[in-house]
Every structure is written in C-alpha cells, then in structure tokens.
Chains A and B, each alone.
Chain A
Amino acid sequence: MPVVLDADRMARSLARIAHEILERNRGIEEVALVGIRTRGVPLARRLAKSIHDVSGHDVACGALDITLYRDDLSGNAPTAVGPQPVIRKTEIPFSIDGKLILLVDDVLYTGRTIRAALDALIDFGRPRAIQLIVLVDRGHRELPIKADYVGKNIPTSSAQVVQVHLNEIDGRDEVEVLP
C-alpha cells in the first residue's frame, strides 16, 4: 500500500501543527505564513484557517515562487536547451520586516528548495526569524536544513518518489510513496 498518509491523518497532523504554532508563539500577531508554490500554498492557507478557528486571530498568508532562485537552472552545457521551469507569481502582500515567517512546504527532501526560499525571503525584507513547517520529512538532506514543525516523518530511499495530493489541487488528500 503506497498511501502513507490518508485524508483523516493529514487533517489531524495539520490541526496538531496549528496548535503547536499557537503554543510556541505567544504573540501570534507577529507571525505570518508563507507557502512555497505549489502545494505549500494551500497547506499554508489551511493552517491559517485552523489558527483562526482556534484563536480567532487572522494570520497573514503569502505565496512564494522560488523558481528564479533555484540552483539548478541555466544548464551550463550549450546544448541543454531544455524548457525552463514554469514561473508562477509570488504574492506577499505584507511587509515581512520584524515578523516571524513560517515557511510552509509539502515535502522536505534535499533542502535545496528551502535554501532558495530563504534567499528569496531575504530579498523581501528582514524577518525577525524564519521557521519551517513541512507536511512530510522524507530524509536525505544535502544541506544543513531542519524543519521546526513536521506532519509525519517518512523514511524513504532515494529511488522512491513521494507524491502529495491535496484537495485544492488534486481533488483528494493523500500522500503516497511510490517505488
């Protein structure tokens, strides 16, 4: 059975993370969620809603596209004219100066996406601190990056593929590990 997280368990993990956020941060007003495109964005929104449901507080929510900051673009071989990754818009309609930014992504793997996200965020301003929320941590870090809030730890081999499906994008909530 490749499904390692079904809809019910996903919802409970996210609810637990929302409570952890509230528990660790007394001044929830100075916290903002930034989802990393693509699937980090609906996750961030769900967390913002959960936090609102529990505390009544509206947490600011933004979307970050890290394509322009990736370290694997612009292949050096002159013949590598592959199509470029598609860029979607970054929307951070608030100032991040002085805030605690909670980056949200679906899967934490090598850590390179998070590195790119950190670079991008720094260009937007100077947050007080940045923490990382991921739904799934699958191991195999290539950079010294760790998640502060984890939905589920799922050890995998590098040959396996972790696929996250979210209702907002894929029509169902499910995480699969495929060989």
Chain B
Amino acid sequence: MKKDLLGIADLSPDDIYRVLETADAMREVGQRPIKKVPTLRGKTVVNLFYEPSTRTRTSFEIAEKRLSADTLNVAVAASSVLKGETLVDTAMNIEAMSPDMIVLRHASSGACHLLSRICKSRIINAGDGMHEHPTQALLDAFTIKEHKKDIAGLKIAIVGDLLHSRVLRSNALLLTKLGAELWVCGPPTLVPPGIECLGVRVTTSVEEAVQDADVIMMLRIQQERMQGAFFPSLREYFNVFGMTTERVKLAKPDVIIMHPGPMNRGVEIASEVADGPYSVILEQVANGVAVRMAVLYLLAGGVEDEAAA
C-alpha cells in the first residue's frame, strides 16, 4: 500500500482483500479482556476533523487506542476557519510536531490530496467533501463479506442522494473492483453525470434496483437538498424512493440492509426496516473499529520479511 489512504481509487483488489483479512484478525483484539496490542506504541495519530462527526471520529479514536497509539483530536471549529487559518497552515503547524499519521475529514473534495502533497505524515481520508470515504467502503465490504462470503457476483443496490455522496463513490469503486453487480438509484436530479462510466447500472426505479438484490445500501437525504430543488419534499422522496417493508420484499429472502448513518427515519428508510431483521446497520459500526485498526496498521510501514524473527 502507498504512503496514504486517499481513496479506494488507489487500491487494487489485492490491497482491499489485505485490509479485510487484517481487519478480521484485528476484530479478535476487541473480543479480549485486555483490548490492546502494542503495535503502534509511541506513534502519534492526529484526528483532524473539519466536519463534525461522532461515529467516524470515535471509531478512529478507539482503533488508534487499541493499537496503543497516542491520539490527538483536533476538532476545528468554524471559528478557526473564520479566523482565516488555511488548511495548509493548520496542517503545517501540526506537522511541525511530527505526528506519524493525520486522519483528515474535510468539507472540500481533494483536501486529502492537498495535504498528501505537502505533509510527510501519512494521511488517512476520513471523508473529503463529495469525493471519497474509503474506510466506510472498506467496513461496508467487510460487513457484506461476513454475511455473503463473496462479493463477486452479488447484486447490490445503493439508493439515495448519489450526487453528493462520498460513500457512494467509494463503494462504487470498491464493489465494482471486487466484481459485484452494482445498481445505483435516485431521482435524476441527484445522479452524478457520467456515473455509469464507473461500471454501475443507473435507474430511477427503486423497485428495479432492489429486485432480487443481495444487499441494499441506503444513503442519507439532507434537508438542504430541497432548497436546491433536487426534489419537492421529504414526503415525496419517501414515497418514491424510501426503503419500506414492501420494497424490501422484492429483494432476495436473505438480503441485508445497510446504511452508513446517521439515518433519517421516515425519509430514506422506514423505521421498521432500519430496526428489522435484515438490518446490519449496527454491525457496520462495530466493524468500523476493526477495519480502521487494519488501515492504521497497514499504513504504519514496516519490514517486508515475515520470517525475520
């Protein structure tokens, strides 16, 4: 793997399998009485989050601590941005204190690429604008594999605000790399132009998308999208695209329902579905720690020869 994890775009299928296998081993650490291994002892990891996040940040923090790394959380309040300090200046200031890794979440696509060009520390992308959220896609893949053994050949439907979703882009890249048949669905106003070039099937019919699907992944719908005239109302959105029990029945009997969170109940997903027997949403969260431990471990660098001792 390269110095940084900027996106699924840079990972080969082998890299992806490597992460998933390592995550499997890492998960066992979380089941011990002492949930700690000394692997990243003495390493400093900075969590630099420009967007608020509970789920991802705590997940990274727990992962870092389980590997015995020293964790530093920098939650950049909006006021720092108003004070005018640029991302580059903030990063250079942090770099001056020699962290080993920076986990960055930022509202602008490409922010991690910018830092990767100027920082010596390893950069892990925890979500950049509308671009990618690679650890989310990796934990999604891990969750799918837990239930379905093999990703190749599965029919997977992703439904929601495709245009603004970094989770979509990362998942589309990853799942097609591993050979899944990926269907993406949303109102035409929220379909990214040219998305079919990624090798996905595009439909505006949620019924067509979930027909015989093995996996259904729902994406969050944001209130602000109504201001941009992307769709008329949340009620209409739910009627046309919401994941209801009836729609779930169109999928395979052993379908799993996923959501990166946080959920808008009654908008993209009905409460009964979110809490229902097919939902693996909470598993996704649990798997996030193991996957992030795997990523941190693999990016920390090291020796090549396994048999050195």
Nearest-Cβ distance from residue A62 to partner chain B, whole angstroms: 12
Chain A minimum-CB-distance residue to B18: A86
Residue from A69, A75, A113 within 8 A of B38 (CB atoms): A69
A89 and B37 contacting across the interface, CB-CB below 8 Å = no
CA distance A90 to B25 in the complex (A): 7
Give the residues in chain A near B26, CB-CB below 8 Å. Answer: 87
Residue from B25, B43, B300, B303 within 8 A of A65 (CB atoms): B25
Nearest-Cβ distance from residue A116 to partner chain B, whole angstroms: 7
Residue from A84, A86, A123 within 8 A of B32 (CB atoms): A123
| Count of A-B contacts judged by CB separation below 8 Å | 84
Nearest-Cβ distance from residue A93 to partner chain B, whole angstroms: 11
Nearest-Cβ distance from residue A179 to partner chain B, whole angstroms: 17
A68 and B38 contacting across the interface, CB-CB below 8 Å = yes
Interface residues in chain A, defined as those with a beta carbon under 8 Å from any beta carbon in chain B: 65, 67-70, 72-75, 78, 80-91, 109-110, 112-113, 116, 119-120, 123-125
**B268-309 contacts to A (CB < 8 Å):** 297-298, 300-304, 306, 308-309
CA distance A138 to B156 in the complex (A): 54
B1 and A83 contacting across the interface, CB-CB below 8 Å = yes
Q: Does B252 contact A (CB under 8 A)?
A: no
A74 and B308 contacting across the interface, CB-CB below 8 Å = no
Q: Does B229 contact A (CB under 8 A)?
A: no
B300 and A87 contacting across the interface, CB-CB below 8 Å = no
B297 and A87 contacting across the interface, CB-CB below 8 Å = yes
CA distance A78 to B298 in the complex (A): 14
Assess A89 versus B24: contact at CB under 8 Å? Given A72-B303, A82-B302.
yes
CA distance A83 to B1 in the complex (A): 7
Count B-side interface residues using an 8 Å CB cutoff.
32
Assess A123 versus B37: contact at CB under 8 Å? Given A90-B25, A90-B28.
yes
CA distance A112 to B2 in the complex (A): 28
Determine the main DSSP class of A at the interface with B: loop
A75 and B303 contacting across the interface, CB-CB below 8 Å = yes
Residue from A65, A72, A87 within 8 A of B308 (CB atoms): A72
Most chain A beta-carbon contacts within 10 A, residue among B1, B26, B28, B302: B302
B309 and A110 contacting across the interface, CB-CB below 8 Å = yes
B37 and A72 contacting across the interface, CB-CB below 8 Å = no
Give the residues in chain A near B145, CB-CB below 8 Å. Answer: none
**B11-40 contacts to A (CB < 8 Å):** 18, 21-22, 24-26, 28-29, 32-34, 36-40
B306 and A85 contacting across the interface, CB-CB below 8 Å = yes
CA distance A73 to B296 in the complex (A): 13
Nearest-Cβ distance from residue A165 to partner chain B, whole angstroms: 13
CA distance A75 to B36 in the complex (A): 20
Contacts A65-B25, A123-B34 given; 12 further ones with Cβ under 8 A? A68-B37, A68-B38, A73-B302, A74-B39, A74-B300, A81-B1, A81-B2, A82-B302, A86-B18, A86-B306, A89-B28, A113-B309
A69 and B302 contacting across the interface, CB-CB below 8 Å = no
Nearest-Cβ distance from residue A112 to partner chain B, whole angstroms: 5
Q: Does B65 contact A (CB under 8 A)?
A: no
**B31-78 contacts to A (CB < 8 Å):** 32-34, 36-40, 43, 67
